[in-house]
């Protein structure tokens, strides 16, 4: 990038910060949950397995979660978890891999937990150790659970973020969905997620595809991110467009009634290449848009690093009208440019508080329009800015 471009960018960024950028995308972003009360350690890595077979009413998970204790002198660790999950096993090891003795664990008072989609009730699990845990002590938690028979749903549901399991869609979007132990106010960490589903389904998972194999009617896929992302997945009978790609590319996970338009992928890829060129290689060559089948007025979108989850209602008409309706196309482009920029402004830099969140969202709006102008000219940039 030339120096004068950088200076203009900085100037515009300062002006944007000063005057504020109203956002029609105010639901689009990255959730930062309120800090929960209790003895919450810090998550340093996730290694998560899910085994899903709706024909057998099976939804089970085995999770290895690396932690650093942040409370001195306590004998317990507290976490929150979805009330429909039956815990089959909890155990802990230290940094050397030796078992840590626990006297037991129990459920405390359920708590009201507020995320973007509203307030839900989560269970509090309290694990009691024989000895106090040292400050900064490294721990690894092994957690196994399964969904109780009454926890299986019908159709597509209405809560974009929560744990949802039905024959049409299985999803948990974010650490505070209740499918992962809610351990602190910001659960992003390097992650590895492996999911087995019937091979009629595909799962949209953050990170880079490490392996995928099909066996006896099931497909097992592993994704990995070495940077801190929120754990998330959405599995359904998706079609992946534009299909398998090598190197740098963009993938759309669409439902049967959504028609992929080549211009969508081309625009998303142009944004991705420009951001990579200007702001650095994120180390993940694929950017992914995963449409979540859901009945939800007004839509929703959530960045999980290189993977963005969008409610189908977000762009419900664009799949049939992308090439003919300029207003719809511009809204879609503005959204794509906004969400892709979060890979750079929400996951490379630490932030906290309302102003930082506003800057993360306003900054992504600004960059989306600016990048649109760089790619497609001044008139296009003006049209995109008018979308916010």
Measured from the Cβ of residue 291, the count of other Cβ atoms closer than 10 Å reads 24
Measured from the Cβ of residue 133, the count of other Cβ atoms closer than 10 Å reads 23
Q: Pick between residue 21 and residue 85 the one whose CB is nearest to Zn ion.
A: 21
Give the Å distances, CA to CA, from 46 to 66, 137, 351: 7, 17, 21
- CB burial of residue 318 (10 Å; 0-12, 13-18, 19+): buried
Site string for Zn ion, 348-367 (x = CB under 5 A): -------------x--x---
Binding positions for Zn ion, 276-305, rule CB under 5 A: none
**Interface with Zn ion: number of residues (CB under 5 A):** 4
Residue 121 Cβ, how far from Zn ion at the closest point, in Å?
27
C-alpha to C-alpha distance for 71 and 137, rounded to whole angstroms? 9
Residue 345 Cβ, how far from Zn ion at the closest point, in Å?
9
Residue 27 Cβ, how far from Zn ion at the closest point, in Å?
9
Among left, alpha and beta (phi > 0; psi -120 to 50; other), residue 299 is left
Q: Pick between residue 29 and residue 178 the one whose CB is nearest to Zn ion.
A: 29
Tell me which stretch binds Zn ion (CB under 5 A): 29-37, 76-84, 140-148, 255-263. Answer: 29-37
Q: Pick between residue 193 and residue 301 the one whose CB is nearest to Zn ion.
A: 301
Question: With contact defined as beta carbons under 8 Å apart, do 220 and 194 qualify?
Answer: yes
Site string for Zn ion, 306-325 (x = CB under 5 A): --------------------
Residue 116 Cβ, how far from Zn ion at the closest point, in Å?
11
Q: Which residue has the CB atom at the shortest distance from Zn ion? A: 29
- Candidate list 28, 48, 173, 284; residue touching Zn ion; CB under 5 A: 28
Q: Pick between residue 207 and residue 300 the one whose CB is nearest to Zn ion.
A: 300
Residue 291 Cβ, how far from Zn ion at the closest point, in Å?
17
- CB burial of residue 237 (10 Å; 0-12, 13-18, 19+): middle
Nearest alpha carbon to residue 367 among 229, 250, 274: 274
Q: What are the structure tokens assigned to 371, written together?
A: 């990048």
Query: Does residue 340 interact with Zn ion by CB under 5 A?
Result: no
Q: Find where tokens 């089948």 sit.
A: 293
Residue 311 Cβ, how far from Zn ion at the closest point, in Å?
14
At a CB cut-off of 8 Å and minimum separation 6, what does 83 contact?
110, 121, 122, 123, 178
Q: Pick between residue 194 and residue 360 the one whose CB is nearest to Zn ion.
A: 360
Beta bridge partners, 225, equal: 191
Q: Pick between residue 59 and residue 388 the one whose CB is nearest to Zn ion.
A: 388
- CB burial of residue 262 (10 Å; 0-12, 13-18, 19+): exposed
Residue 229 Cβ, how far from Zn ion at the closest point, in Å?
15
Residue 356 Cβ, how far from Zn ion at the closest point, in Å?
13
Query: Does residue 176 interact with Zn ion by CB under 5 A?
Result: no
Q: Pick between residue 116 and residue 147 the one whose CB is nearest to Zn ion.
A: 116
Query: Does residue 29 interact with Zn ion by CB under 5 A?
Result: yes
Q: How many residues does the chain have?
A: 388
Tell me which stretch binds Zn ion (CB under 5 A): 25-33, 38-46, 190-198, 376-384. Answer: 25-33
Binding residues vs Zn ion (CB under 5 A): 28-29, 361, 364
């Amino acid at each position: 990038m030339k120096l004068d471009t950088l200076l203009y960018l900085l100037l515009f960024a300062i002006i944007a910060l000063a005057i504020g950028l109203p956002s029609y995308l105010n639901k689009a972003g990255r959730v930062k949950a309120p800090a929960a009360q209790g003895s919450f350690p810090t998550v340093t890595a996730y290694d998560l397995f899910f085994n899903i077979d709706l024909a057998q009413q099976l939804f089970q998970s085995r999770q290895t979660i690396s932690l650093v204790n942040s409370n001195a002198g306590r004998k317990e660790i507290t976490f929150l978890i979805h009330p429909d999950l039956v815990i089959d096993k909890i155990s802990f090891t230290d940094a050397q891999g030796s078992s840590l003795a626990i006297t037991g664990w129990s459920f405390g008072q359920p708590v009201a937990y507020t995320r973007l989609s509203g307030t839900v009730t989560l269970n509090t699990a309290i694990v009691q150790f024989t000895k106090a845990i040292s400050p900064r002590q490294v721990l690894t938690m092994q957690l196994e659970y399964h969904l109780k028979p009454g926890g299986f749903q019908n159709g597509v549901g209405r809560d974009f973020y929560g744990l949802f399991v039905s024959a049409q869609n299985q999803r948990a979007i974010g650490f505070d969905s209740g499918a992962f132990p809610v351990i602190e106010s910001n659960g992003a960490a390097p992650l590895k997620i492996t999911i087995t589903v019937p091979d009629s389904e595909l799962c949209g998972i953050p990170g880079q595809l490490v392996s995928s194999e099909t066996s006896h009617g099931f497909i097992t896929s592993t994704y990995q991110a070495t940077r801190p992302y929120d754990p998330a997945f959405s599995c359904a009978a998706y079609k992946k467009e534009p299909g398998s790609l090598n190197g740098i590319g963009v993938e759309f996970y669409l439902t049967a009634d959504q028609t992929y338009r080549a211009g969508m992928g081309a625009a998303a890829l142009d944004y991705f290449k420009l951001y990579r060129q200007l702001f650095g290689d994120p180390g993940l060559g694929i950017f992914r848009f995963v449409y979540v089948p859901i009945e939800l007025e007004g839509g929703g979108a959530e960045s999980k690093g290189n993977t963005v989850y969008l409610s189908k209602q977000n762009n419900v008409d664009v799949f049939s009208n992308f090439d003919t309706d300029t207003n719809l196309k511009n809204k879609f482009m503005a959204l794509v440019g906004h969400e892709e920029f979060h890979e750079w402004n929400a996951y490379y830099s630490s932030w906290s508080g309302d102003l930082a969140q506003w800057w993360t969202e306003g900054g992504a709006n600004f960059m989306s329009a600016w990048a649109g102008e760089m790619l497609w000219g001044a008139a296009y940039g003006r049209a995109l800015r008018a979308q916010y």
